Amino acid sequence: MTVAAESSVAEFPQRWEPPLPNSRGPITEVLFKALVGRPGALGKVPSNERDPLSDDDLHLALYACYEIHYRGFAGVDARWEWNPALVSFRGQLEQAFESALIECFRVTGEQDPSTVKSMLNKIANRSGPPLSRHLRDKASLADFKDYIIHRSAYQLKEADPHSWVIPRLEGKAKAALVEVEFDEFGCGRSERIHAVLFRTTMDAMGLDSRYGAYLDLIPGVTLAPINLMSMFGLHRRLRGAAVGHLAIAEMTSALSNKFVAEGLRRLGYGADATGFFDEHVIADSIHDMVALHDLAGGLLEQDPSLAGDILFGASAWAGVDAAFAQYVLDSWSRKEPSLHTPGGSRLS
pLDDT at 342: 60
Q: Residue 109 in contact with residue 52, Cβ under 8 Å?
A: no
Could you tell me the CA-to-CA distances from 261 to 32, 152, 258 in Å, in that order?
A: 38, 16, 5
Could you tell me the CA-to-CA distances from 66 to 63, 138, 228 in Å, in that order?
A: 5, 35, 11
pLDDT at 48: 81
**Residue 138: in which H helix or E strand, if any?**
none
Please report the DSSP string for 54-115 in residue order.
Answer: T-HHHHHHHHHHHHTTTT--TT--GGGTT-HHHHHHHHHHHHHHHHHHHHHHPPPS---GGG
As separate numbers, helices (DSSP H) first and strands (DSSP E) second, the chain gives: 16, 0
* 3-class state of residue 219 by DSSP: coil
pLDDT at 108: 73
- Which amino acid is residue 248, in one-letter code? I
Look up the pTM and report it: 0.93
Q: Considering just the CA atoms, what is the radius of gyration of the chain in Å?
A: 20
pLDDT at 288: 86
- Whole-angstrom distance, CA of residue 241 vs CA of residue 295: 12
Q: Residue 329 in contact with residue 131, Cβ under 8 Å?
A: yes
Please report the DSSP string for 174-197 in residue order.
Answer: HHHHHHHHHHHTGGG-GGG-HHHH
* 3-class state of residue 206 by DSSP: coil
Q: Residue 132 in contact with residue 329, Cβ under 8 Å?
A: no
> In 3D, which of 339, 68, 101, 118 has the Cα closest to residue 238?
101
Per-residue confidence in pLDDT tens, the chain, 348 aa: 223 333 344 455 567 899 999 999 999 999 999 999 999 999 888 988 889 999 999 999 999 999 999 999 999 999 999 999 999 999 999 999 999 999 999 877 667 888 999 999 999 999 899 999 999 999 999 999 999 999 999 999 999 999 999 999 999 999 999 999 999 999 999 999 999 999 999 999 999 999 999 999 999 999 999 999 999 999 999 999 999 999 999 999 999 999 999 999 999 999 999 999 999 988 767 888 999 999 999 999 999 999 999 999 999 999 999 999 999 999 999 999 899 976 444 454
Q: Residue 220 in contact with residue 55, Cβ under 8 Å?
A: yes
pLDDT at 232: 98
pLDDT at 182: 94
pLDDT at 11: 56
Please report the DSSP string for 315-339 in residue order.
Answer: HHHHHHHHHHHHHHHHHHHTT--SS
Among positive and negative, which fits the CA dihedral 99, 105, 106, 109? positive
- Which amino acid is residue 267, in one-letter code? L
Q: Residue 230 in contact with residue 245, Cβ under 8 Å?
A: no
- Whole-angstrom distance, CA of residue 86 vs CA of residue 101: 22
DSSP state for residue 53 in the 8-state scheme = T
